[in-house]
Amino acid sequence: METLNTEIHNYRNLLKHYIQIRDEQSLYGAEQLSKAFIKDNVPPEEIINLHIRAMAELYPDSPDHFQDSMNFLLEVMISYGIAHQEYRSLREEQSELKSEIAVAANMQDTLLTTTKPEVDGLDIGVVSVPAHQMSGDYYHFLKGEDDSLGIAVADVIGKGIPAALCMSMIKYSMDSLPEATMSPKTILKNLNRVVERNVDSSMFITMFYAQFLPYENKLWYASAGHEPGFHYDAATKTFEEIKAKGLVLGVTPDTDYREYERTIDKGDMVILLTDGVTECRQGDRFIETDEVLGVIKQYADLPAQEMVNKVYKHFERMQNFQLRDDFTLIVLRKEV
């Protein structure tokens, strides 16, 4: 009560002084009082009530219509104050959520980080950019003791924190697999069981897994419903789709995956990607696959990493620097 009386006293004196003199000092005092109200979280209807009481003390004989108008304003501000309080509460919750998502995004970067390996005779380029803070794309390299190279590219149908958790589970499941199970069909079979047991049925994970054997110039691969890659034949300078059939991960527990093989000669490239590359949009128009391959071919003479960076920048500009989906592109070029 003492604090309220003090506020009324201060407000009344400032109001009286301003009405009489209308100087800048009174307005400055009102500004400072307003800051105190904000600091103490005083709702707007209380400030209106404070004004009514101050005016009643200063001008007790004010006409009834003036009092009625102030009472009307008070009722309006009561509703406004309730709505404003709810808005502030929502803003605070949104701020907390943004902070949590930022922490989760940083954790995702740490958990899913994979090192691009050095493999004799193989030039590797990779770019993976999330459309938002959390990525639903995932890629991973696994180098074997025999210098073979395992390459995984995956996409969660779903975004945000649930997708990040799925990808973390996939990554650590892959890390736990023994060396003897590096064949693509076995990798996918094992991961399928993990996903089927641990991921909600409303979420789907696609994956393409390839194993490159540099000493044999062979690429073995299998797919779990993932976007097909491409093989660039350096001799004919043409692209061929890398087709591979297979059910998305986690649908049934005992799914078997078919394994495919192709020869990769000197100068050939293997292009692996997610649908964020092939489904780029220019306005409302989805680009054609031939357009993607044309851009890749345009930069084919560059080192692999510079090539994928140029391709990404091209499609980023095409979409006005606003990705609509996560963008992951991997290029492997056989050098010798």
Residue bearing the bigger pLDDT, 243 or 33: 243
Beta-ladder partners of 157: 204
CATH homologous superfamily, domain 114-334: PPM-type phosphatase domain (3.60.40.10)
DSSP structural state of residue 180: G
**CA distance between the termini of the chain:** 87
Q: What's the CA gap between 36 and 65, in Å, rounded? A: 31
Per-residue pLDDT band at 331 (split at 50, 70, 90): very high
What per-residue confidence (pLDDT) applies to 234?
A: 93
The type of residue at 254 is D
Per-residue pLDDT band at 4 (split at 50, 70, 90): low
Judge: domain 2-92, CATH 1.10.1240.30: yes
* C-alpha distance from residue 300 to each of 134, 170, 318 (Å): 30, 32, 20
**pLDDT over 70 percentage in the chain:** 90
User: Is 114-334 in the same CATH topology as 2-92?
Assistant: no
Q: What's the CA gap between 283 and 57, in Å, rounded? A: 64
Q: Which helix (H) or strand (E) holds 296?
A: helix 289-298
Q: Indicate the range of 141-155, 204-218, 288-302 predicted with least confidence.
A: 141-155
How many residues belong to the chain?
Answer: 336
Q: Are 139 and 126 in contact (CB under 8 A)?
A: yes
pLDDT in tens, 171-228: 778 777 776 557 899 999 999 998 888 887 778 889 999 999 988 899 999 999 999 9
What per-residue confidence (pLDDT) applies to 159?
A: 63
Beta-ladder partners of 286: 281
What per-residue confidence (pLDDT) applies to 105?
A: 62
DSSP structural state of residue 154: E
Residue bearing the bigger pLDDT, 125 or 41: 125
| Averaged confidence pLDDT in the chain | 84
265 pLDDT more than 90: yes
Residue bearing the bigger pLDDT, 147 or 304: 304
Beta-ladder partners of 150: 142, 211
Per-residue pLDDT band at 121 (split at 50, 70, 90): confident
Q: Are 156 and 203 in contact (CB under 8 A)?
A: yes
Tokens 């924190």 belong to residue: 161
70 pLDDT more than 80: yes
Could you give phi then psi for residue 114, rounded to 5 degrees? -130, 140
For residues 292-308, average pLDDT: 94
What per-residue confidence (pLDDT) applies to 1?
A: 47
Q: Which helix (H) or strand (E) holds 25?
A: helix 24-39
Residue bearing the bigger pLDDT, 100 or 255: 255
Q: What's the CA gap between 30 and 265, in Å, rounded? A: 80
279 pLDDT more than 90: no
Q: Where are the domains of the chain?
A: 2-92, 114-334
Beta-ladder partners of 54: none
What per-residue confidence (pLDDT) applies to 119?
A: 86
The residues near 107 (Cβ < 8 Å, ≥ 6 apart) are 164
Q: Are 295 and 289 in contact (CB under 8 A)?
A: no
Residue bearing the bigger pLDDT, 143 or 136: 143
